[in-house]
Copies of this chain bind each other. A is one copy, B any other.
Amino acid sequence: MPESDPRLQRFADFLARSGLKTTRQRERIVRAFFAAGRHLSAEELYHRIQTQDPGIGLVTVYRTLKLLRRAGLATGRQFGDTYTRFDPNPADWPHDHLICKRCGKIQEFEDAGLHSLREKVARRLGFTVTEHKLELYGFCRDCARLGTGRAARGRSAARTA
C-alpha cells in the first residue's frame, strides 16, 4: 500500500515555494500520474482521471504536467508517436529506453559503460555533453519469439510501460 508517495510531497513543496496553490485538480492529476507509473500521454492521463472526476479538463492536465516538469518530477518524451509522453521519473535520473515496436512495451535501463563511452566519444569531438537521448527500437523477448517463423499473430500495440 504505497499510500504516501514522497513525490506528492515534493510537488506540494514545489507549489508552495513557487507561490502557487494546491487545488483539488492538481491533487488528483499528480496522484493519478504517479499511480500509473508508466509513460503516459496527456490524453491517456486525462482519461484515467475522467472515470473518477469528470470535472477536470484536459487543459488542466496539460498545465499540471508542465508544472511537474518544472518541479523536476516529470520529463516530456518524444518516442515514435505524434504526441508527447510523460516520464514519471525524477529528472535527475538520466536513463535510456528500449521500445518494442509490436506490443509497445517501454523498458527503461541505465548502463554505466554506455554512459562513459558516450562521454568519451563526445569529448573526442570537442563536445561537452549536458543531456542525451537514446532510444532503441525493436522487439522485446516475447514479441521476437512470436515474430520468428510465420508472420506475427496478435497485432495489438497497447503501450505497456
Contacts and interface: CB of A to CB of B under 8 A. Distances in A.
Taking the full assembly, how many copies of this chain does it contain?
2
Contacts of A133: 133-135, 137
A109 interface: yes
Contacts of A136: 118, 122, 127, 129, 131-132
Given A78-B78, A130-B137, A133-B133, 8 more contacts: A107-B125, A107-B127, A118-B136, A122-B138, A127-B138, A127-B141, A127-B144, A128-B138
A125 B98 contact: yes
A126 interface: yes
Contact of A98 (B117, B122, B135, B144): B122
A34 interface: no
A109 B136 CA distance: 17
A140 B125 CA distance: 8
A62 interface: no
Contacts of A117: 111, 113-114, 117
A122 to B, nearest CB: 5
A121 interface: yes
A101 interface: yes
A61 interface: no
